[in-house]
A and B are shown apart, each in its own frame.
Chain A
Amino acid sequence: MSTVATATDPFRFIGCVELRQSLDQRATDERELLDRLEDVPSGSVFYHTHGYFLRHRPITTAYGNDFAAWVAVHVRDQVLAERLAVINPFEFSSLEALREELLSAVHDHLVHLSVVPRVEYGEVFHFQQSHIVEVPLGSAAATLAEFRQGLAEVDASAIYYHMVEARARLGRRSGDFAEWLRTSLGMTALAERIQRIDAYMTSLERVRARVLALVDTALEEGA
């Protein structure tokens, strides 16, 4: 389909805000981290791996998730921090698969240690989860040009909602942008390129810029 095609179902941008909830589970050492990580709701796994992406904008820190950051900064175990940081949460088909990978990393690390690393001068790890409140942003796009304009203007939380929340928690594995471009505008190649964007260890604004660059290229090619 061409870049001037008009969708019958316009894309509606949705932003979001996060309401954080503290759970009663906490960890003071890496063994407790392992034990609690097994038990906490999957929403907590999501919060500490994907929610990080929403909360840490625009300052991207050196660790890709809260577990790695805690182990590095508060337990000061750089080896486990590196092993946890390299786990890309966007690669997993489910939060349970991601949880299993995190558990394996901690377990395999502890197997080789005689003393369990613990917090001495830092802070205890408190498990949390979040409730996402959706915020329809009003703007709707029926063409690729309108989509581009809306994407450039919406609050960054919309990038999070459509690219992260939709994929990891709402079961829309392609992400909303790619899915709409594929099904409503028939732009399969562009959809696949957007779906392949590596959102790990970067900022929402960079993801926005990458999507915009791909859309701009498609618009130029179609002109």
Chain B
Amino acid sequence: MIAVDDYRRVAPPGAVDIILRLAEHVRGRRFLHVSGGRFGGGAAEILQPLVPMLSDLGIDAAWEITGGDPGFYATTTALRAALTGTERALTDEALDHYVEMNRVNGKKLNLEADLVLVHDIQPATLIEHRPGEGRWVWRCHFDASRPSRRAWAFLRPYINQYDAAVFSLPKFARRLGIPKYVIAPSIDPLSDKNRELSPREVTTILRGLGVPQDKPLLLQVGPFTPGEDPVGVVDGYRLVKKYYNVRLVLAGTGDAERESVETLAELREAAHTDPDIVILELPPDAHLQINALQRAATIVVQKSVHAGFGLGAAEAMWKGKPVVGGFAGGLPQQIVYDVTGYTVHSVEGAAFRIRHLLNNPELIARMGAAGREHVRRSFLITRHLTDYMALLIHLTR
């Protein structure tokens, strides 16, 4: 198990000492996280290292998981999509079943704690079954600023029963009758996705992926969905390709949604006609592969047009890469314009900034170094741990 002290070599000077001092205030307090699963991205990805770190600090940390049947999961998936603004049909019967399943979960789970942090949608209605003691906080990991009206009308009365809510950005929040705190997500610098890799490891992994390293590499990592605009990235690459002999790698996962299937087909067609476009469909746990690709990249692109917070830019900056990103989601918060990369509003803007960087290689190194320091201060798990302990102290003193 990785201990908090292991982060001294990557965290900002003094950060681990602050964490240890904060822990003295809350040692022995029970801090319970409740989420819908232990695997995958989002809440689970950060809780996997965070909960053991809290325990390592002497906090009585626990992580409970809600369960359900296929109907429960179908409804929570649809509800989450609707809360992010996507059209979804939500019947009263399905929503009643979701609430009922959480009533069962509420009986099964030990929900006694000084602070209970309930993550995202699946456990959200558990608030109806809170014990008498303890503070309850809803942790929303997605952009809930433009939900479907029906979905929000359903969820809002539950959320208002919490003592507070936590959003990743102020702009992701809706008006609520409870305090709204802001805690940005983070990356774990010691995980497979972000730990140091030797040049030999990078070369071996890229060889396994069929990606040669004989020319500058542009990389976008992200789902093959219109929101991530991989087709726009290909268009930008073509504008760059007129001047620079570069290779474009688009690495990510697809899904069964019609738009995703169409996007992937379009990308495959582009790759068919240009051998310097590489499409890599990777499994969700391809952490080392993503790590190696980001380390091998010359410039990382995250040209999202609609996104949640997303940490692709922070991951790339941690590996010393400048990032050209869309003006969406959490990208403007991660990319310090003209310091760690550029935020752009168009395909042409992306192409212009990529050319600007390729034409000024010293900028690539300088922005990469600035990006790594920016992430060290603002987007490492040590900062996240500090924020959660500050929340625990603030709400339970």
| A20: Cβ under 8 A from any B Cβ | yes
A24 touches B182 (CB 8 A): no
What are the residues of chain A within 8 A of B180 when measuring CB–CB? 21-22
- Does A137 lie within 8 Å of B21, measured CB to CB? yes
Contact B21 A136 (CB under 8 A): yes
Provide the bound-state CA to CA distance between A33 and B341, in Å.
Answer: 28
Interface set, chain A 10-59, CB cutoff 8 A to B:
15, 17-22, 24, 26, 57-59
B390 near A22: Cβ-Cβ < 8 Å: no
Known: A21-B182, A73-B337. A58 touches B377 (CB 8 A): yes
* Contact flag A22-B167 (CB < 8 Å), given A59-B373, A61-B336, A155-B17: yes
Please tell me if the beta carbons of A21 and B22 are within 8 angstroms of each other in the complex: no
Instruction: Decide yes or no whether A131 CB sits under 8 A from chain B.
Output: yes
Give the 6 A-B residue pairs with the shortest CB-CB distance, closest first.
A155-B14, A126-B170, A22-B170, A20-B182, A22-B180, A19-B390
Whose C-beta in chain B lies nearest to the C-beta of A122? B327
Contact check, B327 vs A22: say whether CB atoms are below 8 A apart.
no
User: Given A126-B170, A135-B18: A59 and B182 within 8 A (CB)?
Assistant: no
* Contacts of A116-162 to chain B: CB distance below 8 A: 121-124, 126, 128, 131, 133, 135-138, 154-157
Cα-based distance from A31 to B17 in the complex (angstroms): 44
Cα-based distance from A137 to B377 in the complex (angstroms): 19
Assess the B15–A155 pair: CB atoms within 8 A: yes
Give A residues with C-beta under 8 Å from B. Answer: 15, 17-22, 24, 26, 57-59, 61, 73, 121-124, 126, 128, 131, 133, 135-138, 154-157
Cβ–Cβ < 8 Å partners of B13 in chain A: 155
Residue from A126, A128, A133 within 8 A of B390 (CB atoms): A133
Q: How far is the CA of A21 from the CA of B393 in the complex (A)?
A: 15
Kindly state whether residue B175 has any CB partner on chain A within 8 Å. yes
Asked if B394 and A19 sit within 8 Å, CB to CB, the answer is yes
Contact-residue bracket for chain B: 20 to 34
Task: From known contacts A22-B181, A126-B171, A137-B17, infer whether A17 and B391 are also in contact, taking CB-CB under 8 Å.
Answer: no
Collect the chain B residues with CB atoms within 8 Å of residue A131's CB. 390, 394
Q: How far is the CA of A57 from the CA of B390 in the complex (A)?
A: 19
Question: Which residue of chain B lies nearest to A127 when distances are taken between CB atoms in the complex?
Answer: B170
Given known A15-B21, A73-B337, A124-B171, contact A57–B377 (CB-CB < 8 A): yes
Residue B114 CB within 8 A of the other chain: no
| Beta-carbon nearest neighbor of B165 in chain A | A22
- The 11 listed contacts between A and B (C-beta, < 8 Å) are A19-B181, A19-B387, A19-B394, A20-B181, A22-B180, A59-B373, A122-B327, A131-B394, A133-B393, A137-B21, A154-B14
Question: A14 → chain B, closest Cβ, in Å?
Answer: 10
List A contacts of B387 (CB < 8 A).
17, 19
Contact A156 B167 (CB under 8 A): no
**CB-based nearest A residue for B167:** A22
Q: Which residue from A19, A128, A133 sits with its C-beta under 8 Å from B170?
A: A128
Query: A121-B345, A126-B170, A128-B170 in contact; A17/B377 too (CB < 8 A)?
Result: no
Name the distance in Å between B362's Cβ and chain A's nearest Cβ: 18
Most buried by A among B22, B173, B337, B390: B390
Q: B345 to A17, Cβ gap below 8 A? A: no
Q: Give chain A residues whose Cβ lies under 8 Å from the Cβ of B179.
A: 21
Assess whether A24 is in contact with B175, with CB atoms less than 8 Å apart.
Answer: yes
Let me know if B365 is at the binding interface, CB within 8 A.
no
**Contact residues in B for A137 (Cβ distance below 8 Å):** 17-18, 21
